[in-house]
Amino acid sequence: MNTTLITGIGELTTNVGSPADPIRGRGPDLRSDSADASADRDDVSGSGRAGDPCGTMRDAAVLVEGDRIAWVGSPHDAPDADEVVDAEGRAVIPGFVDSHSHLVFGGDRAAEFEARMAGQRYAAGGIRSTVAATRAATDDELRARLRGFLDEMLGQGTTTVEIKSGYGLSVADEERLVRLAAEVTPEVTFLGAHVVPAEYADDSEGYVDLVCGDMLDACAPYSRWIDVFCETGAFTVAQSRRILDAGIARGLRPRLHASQLGPGDGVRLAVELGAASVDHGTYLTDADVAALAASDTVLTLLPGVEFSTRQPYPDARRLIDAGVTVALACDTNPGSSFTSSMPFCVALAVRDMGMTPAEAVWSATAGGARALRRDDVGIIAPGARADLVLLKAPTRIHLAYRPGVPLVDRVWKDGIAVR
Ligand code: NIG
Ligand code: FE
């Protein structure tokens, strides 16, 4: 099998073995003995919390064998390899795990963004204009666009992407969107309950029946997850429960959009159903935070949405200090957040949400993996997928310190150098 040694790494983010690592002790044994004890491990994060969420190693090397990481340790003990890459003292992090995106759609809503910047509020109803443009697009048009976004993401260091449907909202169109998404990722989410389409405007319960019936039948074979936009203007808590229960009965796993536009009971529904993640959380009550902290449900923050809708940024510091597992994702979509840049989201999380750079990078990698219940990505350890990013910077702090600067130098996905 082909081997590549990446050596001379000045700062390696392993996400392994730190006291703050909520995945420690779960899943397969990817973590124990994963790092050579002779490498210099940095156990002080400077964040005020005990331990280093990133499991940082200084002066490190990583051996890639086929599509997996085979060894991590000091360059002095490194095994031979077919190919050697010298990182020249720069930083290496796991590929970003973007656990929330809506990449299959037609058209854009630049005019809506312009109006928002002039003072208009974001509302769920804008989704319907993208539904019309998506229905009008051919499979090939949607596929070309989708692949363009993935390429754009790869160039910014994202190696795992979750993709939702939700701009079809008919049986045939939702089936089309999950089918196209399944061509490029195993992390496909059926979001037929994104908003009630115009043709069901006076019969939202009739639309929920369709989502739980024929639409779910058509989409389940292509999907791993089921999601609902549980919010005023979209679906009620009772409707969300009915839809998620129907999906669970079909073998799909639940996740939820909640508390984006105002407080509600969606977060507690997600916790009650054991959802892998509840996403947005812009308006959280103390009871929501306590419920999340006592649960296995990840709270996925989407700072691109607050940026693009001028809503207040959620307080990630409050969440992390309370013991909530936080992920960061882009929520790439034409309405509320049309960025595909995880480095940009890391910068916003540090600048505006109270996260340390180490926490933000953890949340954008290992946190995303937790939100997708994956233990083979978001981590640099023997047995994990060889998804790695070499930065044009000596430390991951530069991702927030140099916002908007293209700092991704090289990217390996499944052991293949794709950049
Ligand atoms: O995650 N909140 C619902 N769905 C998307 C926005 C979709 C849109 O405006 O087109 C989101 O923000
Ligand atoms: Fe979303």
Cα 6 vs. chain centroid, distance in angstroms? 26
Gap from CA of 159 to ligand 1 centroid (Å): 22
- The 10s digit of each residue's pLDDT in 103-123 is 999 999 999 999 999 999 998
Going by C-alpha positions, the residue among 168, 179, 254 that lies closest to residue 221 is 179
Question: Which tokens in the block code for residue 204?
Answer: 């939202």
- The 10s digit of each residue's pLDDT in 246-282 is 999 999 999 999 999 999 999 999 999 999 999 999 9
Mutate to test the pocket of ligand 1, among 336, 339, 345 (most ligand atoms within 8 A of CB): 336
- The 10s digit of each residue's pLDDT in 121-173 is 998 889 999 999 999 999 999 999 999 999 999 999 999 999 999 999 999 99
* CATH number for the domain formed by residue range(s) 3-94+378-417: 2.30.40.10
State the ligand closest to the CA atom of 234: 1
Going by C-alpha positions, the residue among 193, 144, 186 that lies closest to residue 166 is 193
Which residues form ligand 1's pocket by a CB distance below 6 Å?
Answer: 102, 126-127, 130, 229, 257, 260, 305, 331, 333-336
* Global pTM value: 0.94
Q: What is the position in ligand 1's atom list of the atom closest to the CA of 305?
A: 12
Q: What is the mean pLDDT of the chain?
A: 93
- Check residue 152 and give its pLDDT: 98
DSSP assignment of 80-116 equals P-SEEEE-TT-EEEEPEEE--B-----S--HHHHHHH
Domain ranges of the chain: 3-94+378-417, 97-371
pLDDT at 184 over 60: yes
Closest protein CA for atom 1 of ligand 1: 331
Superfamily of domain 97-371: Metal-dependent hydrolases (3.20.20.140)
Mutate to test the pocket of ligand 1, among 100, 113, 116, 127 (most ligand atoms within 8 A of CB): 127
- The 10s digit of each residue's pLDDT in 271-280 is 999 999 999 9
Gap from CA of 53 to ligand 1 centroid (Å): 30
Question: Which tokens in the block code for residue 320?
Answer: 């992390």
Gap from CA of 410 to ligand 1 centroid (Å): 31
| Cβ atoms 338, 332 nearer than 8 A | yes
Place 371 in a pLDDT band, splitting at 50, 70 and 90.
very high
Gap from CA of 48 to ligand 2 centroid (Å): 32
Query: 């229960």: which residue's tokens?
Result: 245
Closest protein CA for atom 7 of ligand 1: 335
Closest protein CA for atom 8 of ligand 1: 335
Gap from CA of 144 to ligand 2 centroid (Å): 21
Q: What is the position in ligand 1's atom list of the atom closest to the CA of 130?
A: 10
Gap from CA of 201 to ligand 1 centroid (Å): 18
**Percent with pLDDT over 70 in the chain:** 92
- The 10s digit of each residue's pLDDT in 305-357 is 999 999 999 999 999 999 999 999 999 999 999 999 999 999 999 999 999 99
Q: What is the position in ligand 1's atom list of the atom closest to the CA of 337?
A: 12
